[in-house]
Structure 1
């Protein structure tokens, strides 16, 4: 599909509905210069997240469609879970007072199955055969697992008695009627869908997904789905960033709107910004430095606002954050690894907040590095690496090429080694902070 057709399809699929995050932006007084001091990452992240107002548009969706959505309203239990005392084992239910020693023999007077409870009350010396999940009959206070018994006609011998009260799940043990099941702002995972179903919820109120426009900038970029047989001309490259951004947005659960490739001219950028300004957010790659063909900041300053544009990280120092029209603007650097790192560290938590969720703080732990690490003090470094076992212990191994244009370094990695701004070279064997790629990015709301 060509870029033009892709844009038309995406726009048709994702109609715009407004929310109260921003008003159309006024022209910015900010003008970037090469002398602007980069902002520390923690400050930049906090500043961006604090500037985002969550979307307030609400949708009702059936429970099966609620996976990976953010709850807009608190859900309260209408029933106890479980609804009655029930057995957690297959075995026999009895009164503990009737089996005070191993080897006690009880008379089996019936059975209780899940969905088919025993009717009646147990008398002295009696027991019932009971299955997992079955209602505990009146008079039963203990269940012995089947493996610790021996059946003899209509009697059962308890060869190894459990502690009194064992193997019974009490009514309301999981949730009491009237209790909060999940709070507003909770990101729904598979287990949450099961919990909601357990209290009889068939549909939920969720926050509308953010609609995020994205495009790449650069005259050198060519789509991977261009004319058959066309080869790259000298100086041309395939537009990998746009496909990477689409995947990152999809993985986050956002509605991505592909605006294609925009050339290196103020006129083309003005048109692209005008189109993107109606969405909730816009993410671009490339053109955010101060080179001869870098016009993103200039046009953003004309049509919107620029809050800041440099972050003290490597890779990814040139990053523009601001507003254009109704949209929060994220201008990412053009080198592929820089695009990915800045999206993960700065754009992703902002979009989580925009979606009504709570951005989780990055989880980091300490491991020894298997190789020497080269670093100059000044910027926080994100080195691509793999978690490995080295000499019988967990360790972290940097990949062999750390260039910001080498996306293969991200593809071969499963974590970052994060070196603080003031850090210098690190010898092999030293303990370093590690941030795994696989971790939660949706924190828990206050409940």
Structure 2
């Protein structure tokens, strides 16, 4: 068995980064990967503006406190102010541009308006109070996002804030998915004896779509060598083929011999639990990742291996982030493989584990907040910190 680190190094080295790009509207950008470094062409905000409803003044004019000043203008957000004369105040609203000559904003709560509305009594304040400075969020020329960055919803909002209506992204990665196993039945169909519903297809299709991929669904291959080979040939137009099941050594496991017949098998078996029978090879020139059949093993190998490969295709080689949490449990037996336990973060900020860690218990993944990493050969003592992959949008999707 190869270590996970060695396996991922093989995958990253084998991933040929995409070169084809397209320009898309910003509203269609979520989930896509940037094909260029993105620099700000403007400051955000573009000018000093008010953080409060109140009055723009010179701090020295109200230094004595409870000072009455004439109101010489009203500044609404989106309007251009006039310069502020010394010894006067400007009525100003949140987001409005600070007039030249003013150096502070007194919030409305610390003011008193005269009965005729022409003057205002203001409390003393410090220079710069309640002013958002030009460029305090983003400054002109700043690198916003680098090539290969996958855009989340908030990233799209940041790009909108610098005024770009379109961006250049890499084309979608094309991924062909193939399930194997005569026992698999589509949801909505009746189950015969020995059959199960094909949850892996829905996990892969949904996760790949969320990653911004174009999914080519090859269906379910019959449990024969000829049937498996025929299905794999149909996937060669993709950038990556993913199979589930059929990568072990049973008499009905045909993915491994099919890959050997049609191309090359470069890696097989990884020292992780669950997910040991993870294969990497090629069908002709098309890379293939053969995932196990048990649904939890599919989930974990997708997270660790498939996502790493797809990110590498999109010029992104950042590792999955982990965070330390103290274990609420102990283990007495070690394993020769790195174990990924389904865990939930407790109200005390520790982690508890799901009772049944079988690779067939898919509900454990829906229950979990993360995967706690137990290194090969290690046991766990209660209170010991463990690194955890959090199953949020950033980590999984």
Does the aligned pair in 2 maintain the 1:213–1:283 contact within 8 Å?
Answer: yes
Whole-angstrom distance in 1 between the partners of 2:179 and 2:78: 59
**CA displacement 1:126-155 (0-9 Å, x = unmatched):** 111111111211211111111111112322
Asked if 1:438 is matched to 2:374, the reply is no
- Provide the C-alpha distance between the structure 1 equivalents of 2:385 and 2:131, rounded to a whole number of angstroms: 47
| 1:84-163 equivalence runs, <5 A | 84-119=47-82, 121-152=83-114, 153-159=117-123, 161-163=124-126
Deviations 1:345-403 (A, max 9, x none): 1111111221333433331312122x3435333111111122223xxx22211112111
TM-score by length of 1: 0.83
Shift of 1:116: 2.2
Contact 2:180–2:220, Cα closer than 8 Å, also in 1: yes
TM-score by length of 2: 0.93
- Over 3 Å counting, the alpha-carbon distance change for 1:433 and 1:202 in structure 2 is closer
Shift of 1:439: 5.7
Match of 1:302 among 229, 237, 261: 261
Does residue 340 (structure 1) correspond to residue 299 (structure 2)? The answer is yes
The 5 A counterparts of 1:23-42 are 38-42=1-5
Asked if 1:408 corresponds to 2:363, the answer is: yes
Q: CA deviation at 1:43?
A: 2.1
| Pick aligned residue for 1:287 from 242, 246, 256 | 246
RMSD (Å), alpha carbons: 2.1
How do 1:16-415 and structure 2 match up within 5 A? 38-119=1-82, 121-152=83-114, 153-159=117-123, 161-226=124-189, 230-232=190-192, 234-369=193-328, 371-389=329-347, 393-415=348-370
Distance 1:411 1:428, change over 3 A: same
- The residue aligned with 1:14 is none
**Higher RCO structure, 1 or 2 (CA under 8 Å, sep 6+):** 1
- In 2: Cα distance, 1:362 partner to 1:86 partner: 37
Q: Distance in 2 between matches of 1:298 and 1:373?
A: 38
Matched residue SS, 2:350? strand
* Alpha-carbon shift at residue 430 of structure 1 (Å): 4.1
Answer whether contact 1:213 1:276 (CA < 8 A) is retained.
Answer: yes
Q: Aligned pair in 2 of structure 1 residues 147, 431: CA closer, same or farther (>3 Å)?
A: same
Alignment partners' CA distance in 1, 2:106 and 2:360 = 64
Whole-Å Cα distance in 2 between the matches of residues 240 and 59 of structure 1? Answer: 33
Distance 2:371 2:141 in 1: 44
- Supply the distance in 2 between the matched residues of 1:130 and 1:285 (Cα, whole angstroms): 62
Per-residue Cα deviation, 1:289-342 (whole angstroms, up to 9, x for no partner):
122122211111121221110100111111101222342210011111111111
